[in-house]
A and B are shown apart, each in its own frame.
Chain A
Amino acid sequence: MKLRLVQLACAAVLVAATGSLAAPPRVQADTYQRISGSGSSWAANAIDAMRVNVKQFGITVDFNPNGSTAGRKDYLNGVVDFAASDIPFQFNPEDGSAPENPAAGSYAYIPVTAGGTAFMYNLKINGKRVTNLRLSGENVAKIFTGAITMWNDPAIVADNPGLTLPARTVVPVVRSDGSGSSAQFTAWMIKTHEPVWNNFCQRSGRAPACGFTSFYPTVQGMIAQQGDLGVAGYVSQNFAEGAIGYVNYSYALGSQFPVVKLLNAAGYYTEPTPEKVAVSLLKAQINTDASNPSLYLTQNLDGVYADTDPRNYQLSSYSYLIVPTIVQGQFNLEKGKTLGAFAYYAMCEAQQQSASLGYSPMPVNLVEASFDQIRKIPGVVVENVNIAQCQNPTFSADGTNTLAQNAAAPKSCDQQGPTQCPDGTAGMANVPTAINPSAQAPTATVPASGGATPTTVASGGATKTTTAPGAGGATGTTVVDPNNPNGVTDPNVTLPDGSPVVIEGVGTVTCIDPSACGATSPDGVATPQGALTAAPAVATMIADSSSTGTLGLELLVVFLTLGMVLGPAIAWRYFTERRS
């Protein structure tokens, strides 16, 4: 009996083995060595989407979202091929942590995605979730430093005339690991509410000041969790009513939770939607000194905090990939080829998807600068990316940021004052919150002051602009001229007014209307470029298939679990009975 079972098992294994052998070999033009990275959990949702999408080209990228600090450290220790970090290497950390000293000229920053650090909260009034909470920067700072402890604090009530806030304890949820989100958040607090922050530092045992830090100090009454996922996971639990945590906007979307509308310098409460982030980052100062790779392309966000555009969200920032520029440690030329292909994908096609994930796509000057940075990766196969085919929603013919240009102005009820909008935010955008009659206002959109009225860029009906003589096909065009980095010397994110993107080569097509581009793009299948454009469609398909059949999946899980628990027990009983 036992022998027969063994035979059966062997047969099953054999069948399985031949089955896997018979499977058709994967068709791929290129072979890529597997690469790995780690770091920012803030940017992890964007990077994960990219990794999933490049799988179809045979590119395997492993990414461990263990926090920006850990990512940079892993990179320095040579255990990963690239890192993702919200902040650059800390040569002189203000918070007393150990300095990071990468070898000069061994790395480059690639700004990979942009987004808002959002305050996701779990608050109910009469059993109904609040989705339209508004807070001033000062109140946010006070909440996360323990100065405001109740939701019905007069300061919070003043921000929310339309809500009857409950007498519930505020539970700030912060990051327990070294985190770029904490760094961005504390940098903002130092710039805008320094006394509140320094006072807290002293109370938490880091006298006299903790400075700008990746390690958020905690005191009794706060909850600290690992990673953005940990923070979002805690806040979204049923028991965590009253909790508020800082995460990337995408996590609030994913958890289907609202985020705080934060008061900006123009007096409007805004939510970090991709459009608002794009507007805000127009004021980010990007370092354009290419001769200093330790700072090149890094951000200074003071202008974002002070921006008086009504659409501004103060806690908007870029996140970076840190890539090697020399062969070192486990990194070799083969991996460079993979990393290069991945980075090209990340900077071009992947940007179309950013907005649907809750991130903001990169503007054209940073995309171009990134292409230059990618060339520095050893072993990279330089692609002459036709930038128009990236279909990045921020691109326009005249170099302005379309996404920011077209961003809608906030509603008048979002202005600081006696009125409050009922509309939901982030993951609960479709769920309005009932507001007190006294705070109701007509919900008409008012043109914002300061000339920020929504404008359309595609003037003159020009859907495509051919800037070079169209000799031959439009393949193999060079978009960025390495000898002419003018395109990125503008301190602001947009290119100099109206000047076209620096374009060389033959037959380059710059277009505004994606569909027109698709039509005019030459051979969409044979070139790797054409293959890459198929990515979003596949990504959508994957997303679709995962959303259907949840019941079936649940049943499968239940049966699997039951089988795992009962199977061994039954088998055990069977065998022991036979033996005895």
Chain B
Amino acid sequence: MTATTVLRESERDGTPASPRKLFQRGGRGDRMFDALTGTSGLLVLSIMVAVGVFLAVQAMPALRRTGFSFLTTAEWQPDRGQFGIAAVMLGTVLIAAVAVAAALPISMGTALFITEVAPRWLRATLVALVDLMAAVPSVVYGLWGAKLLQGNVIGISRWINRWLGWIPIFSVKGADPSSPLSSASVYTASTFIAGLVVAMMVMPIQCVVMREVFSQVPPGEREGAYALGSTRWGMIRVVALPFGRGGIIGGSMLGLGRALGETIAVLLIISPRFDMNFHILEAGGNSVSALIAGRYNESNGFGLSALMAAGLALFAVTLVVNFTASWFIARSRSGASSDA
């Protein structure tokens, strides 16, 4: 009897009681399952690290030769020792920026239309159509962009250049919007057109993430807004959009990640240039992935190493973008539900 009391006393005097450690000796099946999932999780991580390490090792000869100037040189002649990613990285970012800027309104509008506005019978069709857009191979988009879109976008490019040409980014060297004889070629093969085509590819990804988020708006809040006399737009503005903010930002960032790496469509459209070209409407530009795809076939030894270095830079940028995306999504209210 006393022994029991003493034991309790000593327990009370000691460190504050921590919750009992849960311990379960699972069966063989459980342990196998744990091992399996653990391994595949680790495998994904190690593949990721291996890709980075491989790129870094392959890129070493090139990086050692140029050093820090690799980031600042706007030229690509590896065999002459003059090469760097300044121009191509700028082009990559500009193309991705154009793509996201063009895709964001479309994907957000589509997502809202599907979840909030469209009649029930239309929803499935629209969802299927958007998914279908994601399934179209990028080379098809590239051909479509190069052969059809390019010729028809010139009017828009010219219009933007004419009215907004005073903004440096929209100015075009050698263009004269008022002269009917001026060459339309200065508006072709540009960052802007490449960006528009990439936007078509990015749009479905963004749309899927946003639709997922908007469809999870708590019905209580939604109906509450209606009950307080809100219109449909009012409900979207005060309930759906704030709830889905994380999804919108995250979806856009995911799209940005895809846009940064888009290759074949850019390769088919853009006319490669290796100078710092900020003018998005002007002919010529480049992206890291298009550079790699275009030059990979023709490079040996050192040239290949230089391409690997460019790939490493792109890898790093994409990682940063994707981590930022998941950080945004995780912080938001709707984040737990999103798979990004």
The distance from the CB of B279 to the nearest CB of chain A, in whole angstroms, is: 10
The distance from the CB of A306 to the nearest CB of chain B, in whole angstroms, is: 32
The distance from the CB of B308 to the nearest CB of chain A, in whole angstroms, is: 15
A569 at the interface (CB under 8 A from B): yes
B4 at the interface (CB under 8 A from A): no
Contact with A239, one of B128, B181, B185 (Cβ below 8 angstroms): B185
Contact A73 B300 (CB under 8 A): yes
Across the interface, name the chain B residue whose C-beta is closest to A97: B79
B315 at the interface (CB under 8 A from A): no
CB-CB < 8 A to A76: which residues of B? 300
B216 at the interface (CB under 8 A from A): no
Mark out the residues of chain B between 234 and 267 whose CB falls within 8 Å of any chain A CB in the assembled complex: 267
Contact A168 B181 (CB under 8 A): yes
A573 at the interface (CB under 8 A from B): yes
Contact A565 B129 (CB under 8 A): yes
CB-CB < 8 A to B189: which residues of A? 223, 225, 234
A167 at the interface (CB under 8 A from B): yes
B162 at the interface (CB under 8 A from A): no
Q: Which residues of A contact B (CB under 8 A)?
A: 66-67, 69-70, 73-74, 76, 96-98, 100, 166-169, 171, 176-178, 205-206, 218, 220-226, 233-234, 237-243, 564-565, 568-570, 572-573, 576-577
Across the interface, name the chain B residue whose C-beta is closest to A93: B79
With known contacts A98-B79, A239-B188, A242-B185, A73–B294 Cβ distance under 8 A: no
Contact with A237, one of B77, B124, B151, B275 (Cβ below 8 angstroms): B151
Across the interface, name the chain B residue whose C-beta is closest to A225: B271
Contact A171 B183 (CB under 8 A): yes
CB-CB < 8 A to B297: which residues of A? 66-67, 69-70, 73-74, 177-178
Contact B185 A240 (CB under 8 A): yes
Given contacts A206-B77, A239-B154, A565-B132, 16 further A-B contacts (CB under 8 A): A171-B185, A171-B186, A176-B294, A218-B271, A220-B173, A220-B273, A220-B275, A221-B186, A223-B188, A233-B146, A238-B151, A239-B187, A240-B184, A569-B124, A573-B121, A573-B128
Contact B284 A223 (CB under 8 A): yes
Contact A167 B183 (CB under 8 A): no
The distance from the CB of A135 to the nearest CB of chain B, in whole angstroms, is: 18
Q: Mark B156-196, 1 if CB is under 8 A from A, else 0.
A: 00000000000000000110000001111111110000000
Contact with B127, one of A69, A98, A225, A572 (Cβ below 8 angstroms): A572
CB-CB < 8 A to A178: which residues of B? 297-298
- Cα(A205)–Cα(B75), bound, Å: 9
The distance from the CB of B46 to the nearest CB of chain A, in whole angstroms, is: 28
23 contacts between A and B (CB under 8 A): A70-B297, A70-B298, A98-B300, A100-B300, A168-B182, A169-B186, A176-B294, A177-B298, A205-B82, A218-B273, A218-B284, A226-B294, A233-B146, A237-B150, A238-B151, A239-B188, A243-B185, A565-B132, A569-B129, A572-B124, A573-B124, A573-B125, A573-B128
* Interchain residue pairs A-B with the least CB separation, the first 3: A70-B297, A169-B183, A572-B128
B41 at the interface (CB under 8 A from A): no
CB-CB < 8 A to B229: which residues of A? none
The distance from the CB of B130 to the nearest CB of chain A, in whole angstroms, is: 10
Contact with B298, one of A67, A218, A220 (Cβ below 8 angstroms): A67
Contact B273 A98 (CB under 8 A): no
With known contacts A73-B300, A573-B121, A221–B174 Cβ distance under 8 A: yes
Contact with A223, one of B151, B182, B185 (Cβ below 8 angstroms): B185
Contact B185 A572 (CB under 8 A): no
B147 at the interface (CB under 8 A from A): yes
- Cα(A569)–Cα(B132), bound, Å: 9
- Cα(A572)–Cα(B131), bound, Å: 11
Contact B77 A96 (CB under 8 A): yes
CB-CB < 8 A to B185: which residues of A? 169, 171, 223, 239-243
B91 at the interface (CB under 8 A from A): no
Across the interface, name the chain A residue whose C-beta is closest to B302: A98
The distance from the CB of A176 to the nearest CB of chain B, in whole angstroms, is: 5
Across the interface, name the chain B residue whose C-beta is closest to A149: B174
- Cα(A97)–Cα(B132), bound, Å: 44
CB-CB < 8 A to B173: which residues of A? 220-221
CB-CB < 8 A to B79: which residues of A? 96-98
- Cα(A400)–Cα(B139), bound, Å: 49
Contact A220 B271 (CB under 8 A): no
Q: Which residues of B contact A (CB under 8 A)?
A: 75, 77, 79-80, 82, 121, 124-125, 127-129, 132, 146-147, 150-151, 154, 173-174, 181-189, 267-268, 271-273, 275, 282-284, 294, 297-303
The distance from the CB of A430 to the nearest CB of chain B, in whole angstroms, is: 26
- Cα(A158)–Cα(B303), bound, Å: 44
Contact with A98, one of B124, B154, B283, B301 (Cβ below 8 angstroms): B301
CB-CB < 8 A to B275: which residues of A? 220
- Cα(A573)–Cα(B174), bound, Å: 52
The distance from the CB of B173 to the nearest CB of chain A, in whole angstroms, is: 6
With known contacts A98-B79, A224-B272, A572–B125 Cβ distance under 8 A: yes
Across the interface, name the chain B residue whose C-beta is closest to A576: B124
CB-CB < 8 A to B298: which residues of A? 67, 69-70, 73, 177-178
- Cα(A226)–Cα(B150), bound, Å: 16
- Cα(A171)–Cα(B187), bound, Å: 12
Across the interface, name the chain B residue whose C-beta is closest to A64: B297
- Cα(A469)–Cα(B77), bound, Å: 63
Across the interface, name the chain B residue whose C-beta is closest to A171: B185
Across the interface, name the chain A residue whose C-beta is closest to B183: A169
The distance from the CB of B313 to the nearest CB of chain A, in whole angstroms, is: 21
Which of B127, B297, B300 gathers the greatest number of chain A CB atoms within 10 Å?
A: B297
- Cα(A243)–Cα(B129), bound, Å: 38
Contact B188 A96 (CB under 8 A): no
- Cα(A97)–Cα(B77), bound, Å: 8
Across the interface, name the chain B residue whose C-beta is closest to A96: B80
- Cα(A97)–Cα(B79), bound, Å: 5
CB-CB < 8 A to A242: which residues of B? 183, 185
- Cα(A167)–Cα(B183), bound, Å: 10
- Cα(A564)–Cα(B128), bound, Å: 12
CB-CB < 8 A to B273: which residues of A? 218, 220, 224
The distance from the CB of A128 to the nearest CB of chain B, in whole angstroms, is: 15
CB-CB < 8 A to A240: which residues of B? 184-185, 188
With known contacts A73-B297, A74-B297, A98-B301, A239–B272 Cβ distance under 8 A: no
With known contacts A177-B294, A239-B184, A220–B300 Cβ distance under 8 A: no
The distance from the CB of B147 to the nearest CB of chain A, in whole angstroms, is: 7
CB-CB < 8 A to B150: which residues of A? 237, 239
Contact B271 A223 (CB under 8 A): yes
- Cα(A337)–Cα(B58), bound, Å: 38
- Cα(A83)–Cα(B125), bound, Å: 48
CB-CB < 8 A to B294: which residues of A? 176-177, 226
The distance from the CB of A219 to the nearest CB of chain B, in whole angstroms, is: 9
CB-CB < 8 A to B128: which residues of A? 568-569, 572-573
CB-CB < 8 A to A237: which residues of B? 147, 150-151, 188
The distance from the CB of B306 to the nearest CB of chain A, in whole angstroms, is: 11
Contact B303 A176 (CB under 8 A): no
CB-CB < 8 A to B174: which residues of A? 169, 220-221
- Cα(A76)–Cα(B132), bound, Å: 41
CB-CB < 8 A to B77: which residues of A? 96, 206
The distance from the CB of B207 to the nearest CB of chain A, in whole angstroms, is: 15
Which of B146, B185, B283, B301 gathers the greatest number of chain A CB atoms within 10 Å?
A: B185
CB-CB < 8 A to A70: which residues of B? 297-298
- Cα(A222)–Cα(B273), bound, Å: 9
- Cα(A352)–Cα(B87), bound, Å: 48
The distance from the CB of B83 to the nearest CB of chain A, in whole angstroms, is: 12
The distance from the CB of A174 to the nearest CB of chain B, in whole angstroms, is: 9
CB-CB < 8 A to B124: which residues of A? 569, 572-573, 576-577
- Cα(A316)–Cα(B129), bound, Å: 52
- Cα(A233)–Cα(B182), bound, Å: 21
- Cα(A495)–Cα(B195), bound, Å: 57
- Cα(A176)–Cα(B286), bound, Å: 11
